[in-house]
Amino acid sequence: MSISPPKWSSSDQTSPKDEEERLRELGYQPVLARRMGGFGNFAISFSVISILSGCMTLYGFGLNTGGPAVMLWGWAGVGLFVLCVGMALAEVTSAYPTSGALYYMADRLGGRKWGWYTGWLNLLGLLGAIAGIDYGCALFTGALLNLQWGFHPTPGSTMIIFMCILLLHALLNLFGVRLVSLLNSVSVWWHLGGVALIVGALAIVPSDHQSPEFVFTEFVNGTGWDSPIYVAAIGLLLAQYTFSGYDASAHLSEETSNASVSAARGIVRSIWVSWIAGFALLAGLTFAIQDYEGTKASATGVPPAQILLDALGTGGATALLLVVIVAQLFCGNAEVAAASRMVFAFSRDNALPGSALWRKVSSRTQTPVPAVWLSVVFACLLALPSLYSTTAYGAVTAINVIGITPAYAIPIYLKLRAKDRFEPGPWSLGRWSKPVGWVAVVWVACVTVLFCLPQSNPVTVDTMNYASIALVAVLVLATVWWFVARRSYGTPSAYGSAREQAEIAENIV
């Protein structure tokens, strides 16, 4: 049986004016600049997924937690399920193209409390993603400095590099969405070209390669747990962490032309392109491993850097590490854009402490400047435990997954529960909406439980998986703040009252 393609309405090509009118119908006065095209919208999600960030930074985790077999087959399987999640989410995005994205969808389909908790989970995941991406970039920068000048990275020096990267991304985002869109468009070709260059070099230059049997069947358990099924399950974190952040297309929908279609397409396209390119990257790296144990214990602190060094020599490894680092910089910049729009939108509906500040928009660039600064500062705070714990970075990546993944499933579940009350937008799955939606919800439920489980045995303060604690903490915080802000929080039913227009005008500075 063949799967019919998504259905498009006759209004597939809507004008910017129509999108602004649609936004008003959803309750919001347009204040952000709609300067991003369809490719730019796809590019931001593709940049946030960033196979050269997620795959590379957690590759060492994969070597220890299931090894090559789990990394390659796990990527293939997780990618298929994530594509289902992405398609189901794209359908809801088409109906509700707002910067609030997931929480606005949940609010409309399930009520204020559903929207409230979805927003807090989404925010935790987005801020955790900034921390994870930029700290990973700092680790790779340390590895580059080690190869080139013998610099020995320490937790303190890595933290300084991390803070400089955060500052760079904050400044780039203050110039406006047009620059963000341009950088993301460049990022797409940089990522695809970078993967082709890395895989090509690793295939041609080394004289020795691992066998296909090793790459696709070798199982490695360095976790301390006895059950190979359990180890393989937690080893899926590499793929699931990488396949996150595609909601960026939805968060930038108020700045995208033809957003009801372009944002939905951007989500789906970013996933399947990343799925194909990521598999090629993981296979290329794994075939080129020269010394498995030496790679895991690399003096650079980054196993992929050791693979490049062993296979290509110092010069080749340095050049390709630079390619990876630039890709990670693109990724982090896109994630700051997405997270800041979530902060702006959530504050616009009075959900955050200090909302009156965080929802302000620059009249010059039409960018939510305070929201940008809040995003990078909070991401910095999330990564501070890395100064004291070698496992803190793994905890940050797990926080990203545990926060953002459930937030994806909530609007999908509420859409399924709403049945005929849900009115699809121009991008729809048609008769496949229900089966794809239920596959997405069940998958997310499974991985949410999975990534709260301990990843190493014995479980100590250093090896504890703190994702579950972070999840409980954000839910407690959201519950406490609900009793403070529940009277002021709420998504508008329709924009147009004099009071709402006055409030919007006051927030453009």
Instruction: Read off the pLDDT of residues 359-411 as tens digits, 9 standing for 90 and up.
Output: 998 888 888 999 999 999 999 988 888 887 766 666 676 677 777 888 999 99
Most confident of 75-84, 94-103, 236-245: 75-84
Cis bond upstream, residue 458 (ω within 30)? yes
Spatial separation of the C-alpha atoms in residues 490 and 392, rounded to whole Å: 35
Are 65 and 240 spatial neighbours (Cβ–Cβ below 8 Å)?
no
**pLDDT-based confidence at 498, cuts 50/70/90?**
very low
Tell me: pLDDT of 2 over 50: no
Tell me: pLDDT of 415 over 80: yes
Give residue 80's Cα distance to chain centre: 17
Are 117 and 485 spatial neighbours (Cβ–Cβ below 8 Å)?
no
pLDDT at 472: 84
Tell me: pLDDT of 310 over 80: yes
> Lowest-confidence range among 291-295, 475-479, 488-492?
488-492
The three-point CA angle 242-247-249 to 5° equals 115
CA 311 → CA 140, 286, 290, 305, distances in Å?
Answer: 18, 11, 7, 10
Higher per-residue confidence, 456 vs 191: 191
Tell me: pLDDT of 341 over 50: yes
Q: Where are the alpha helices (DSSP H) in 174-291?
A: 177-204, 212-217, 228-234, 237-242, 248-251, 259-287
Spatial separation of the C-alpha atoms in residues 93 and 423, rounded to whole Å: 11
**pLDDT-based confidence at 493, cuts 50/70/90?**
low
pLDDT at 394: 66
Give the rounded percent of residues in the chain with a pLDDT score beyond 90: 51
Give residue 495's Cα distance to chain centre: 30
Three-state DSSP class for 361?
A: strand
CA 234 → CA 27, 228, 229, 449, 506, distances in Å?
Answer: 42, 10, 9, 10, 48
Spatial separation of the C-alpha atoms in residues 385 and 393, rounded to whole Å: 8
**pLDDT-based confidence at 15, cuts 50/70/90?**
low
**pLDDT-based confidence at 327, cuts 50/70/90?**
very high
> Element (H or E) spanning 220, and its range?
strand 220-221
Pair of tokens at residue 378: 């909070």
Tell whether the torsion through CA atoms of 43, 44, 45 and 48 is positive or negative. positive
Spatial separation of the C-alpha atoms in residues 151 and 35, rounded to whole Å: 42
HSE-CB at 498 with a 13 A cutoff on CA atoms is 0
Three-state DSSP class for 53?
A: helix
Provide DSSP, 463-483. Answer: T--THHHHHHHHHHHHHHHHH
pLDDT at 390: 65
Q: Tell me the average pLDDT across 456-478.
A: 79
Higher per-residue confidence, 254 vs 464: 254
Give the rounded percent of residues in the chain with a pLDDT score beyond 70: 92
Average per-residue pLDDT for the chain = 87
Closest by CA position to 467, among listed 419, 401, 423? 401
pLDDT at 492: 78
Give residue 269's Cα distance to chain centre: 15
Closest by CA position to 143, among listed 155, 132, 135, 151? 151
The three-point CA angle 441-445-448 to 5° equals 135
Tell me: pLDDT of 67 over 50: yes
Q: How many residues does the chain have?
A: 509
**pLDDT-based confidence at 455, cuts 50/70/90?**
confident
Cα torsion for 414, 418, 420, 422, to the nearest 10°?
-50
Q: Which residues, at least 6 apart from 187, have a Cβ–Cβ distance to it below 8 Å? A: 43, 46, 47, 327, 330, 331, 334
CA 385 → CA 8, 314, 397, 453, 458, distances in Å?
Answer: 48, 32, 13, 20, 21
Tell me: pLDDT of 505 over 50: no
